[in-house]
A and B are shown apart, each in its own frame.
Chain A
Amino acid sequence: MSYRVSTCHEDCTIRYHAHWVDEFSSTGGNSRNTAPEDVLAKFWRSWYRGLDRADWDLLLGHVSPITRRSQKEFITAPSEMINPIFSSNIIALEKLRQLERGWDGEDAPPINEASFTLAKKILECIGTKVHSIPTSEGTVQLEIYCGSNSMEIEIKESSFCILKVVGSSYEELEVNTVEDVYDHIQEIGCCLTSSKMMKLY
Chain B
Amino acid sequence: MLSDEFEDDETLLRAIPPVHWLQDFQRPSSAAFTPTTPGCSVDRDGGRGPVPAAKALSERRRQQGKEVACVVGIEKQACDTIGVSVAYAPEVDNEYHCELYNAPEGGKISKTKGRKLAETCSVVDLSPS
- Residues of A in contact with B (beta carbons under 8 Å apart): 96, 99, 103-108, 129, 131, 133-137, 141, 143, 145, 152, 154, 161, 163, 165, 170, 172
Contact = CB atoms under 8 A, between A and B. Distances in A.
Given A105-B15, A105-B61, A163-B30, A172 B111 contact: yes
9 contacts: A104-B35, A106-B36, A106-B37, A131-B29, A133-B19, A135-B31, A141-B29, A152-B111, A163-B112
A141 B17 CA distance: 15
B31 A141 contact: yes
Interface residues of B, number: 25
Contacts, number: 64
Interface of B: 15, 17, 19-20, 22, 24-25, 29-31, 34-37, 41, 61, 64, 66-68, 110-112, 115-116
A163 B115 contact: yes
Nearest to A162: B111
A33 B108 CA distance: 58
Interface-centre pick from A107, A135, A165, A172 (highest chain B CB count, 10 A): A135
B11 to A, nearest CB: 20
A165 B115 contact: yes
B17 A105 contact: yes
Interface-centre pick from B41, B111, B112, B115 (highest chain A CB count, 10 A): B111
A87 to B, nearest CB: 18
Nearest to A154: B111
Given A172-B110, A172-B112, 20 more contacts: A103-B17, A103-B19, A104-B35, A105-B15, A105-B64, A105-B66, A106-B37, A107-B36, A108-B35, A108-B36, A131-B29, A133-B19, A134-B19, A134-B31, A135-B31, A135-B34, A136-B34, A161-B111, A163-B30, A170-B115
Nearest to A132: B19
B29 A133 contact: yes
Given A133-B19, A152-B115, A161-B111, A143 B29 contact: yes
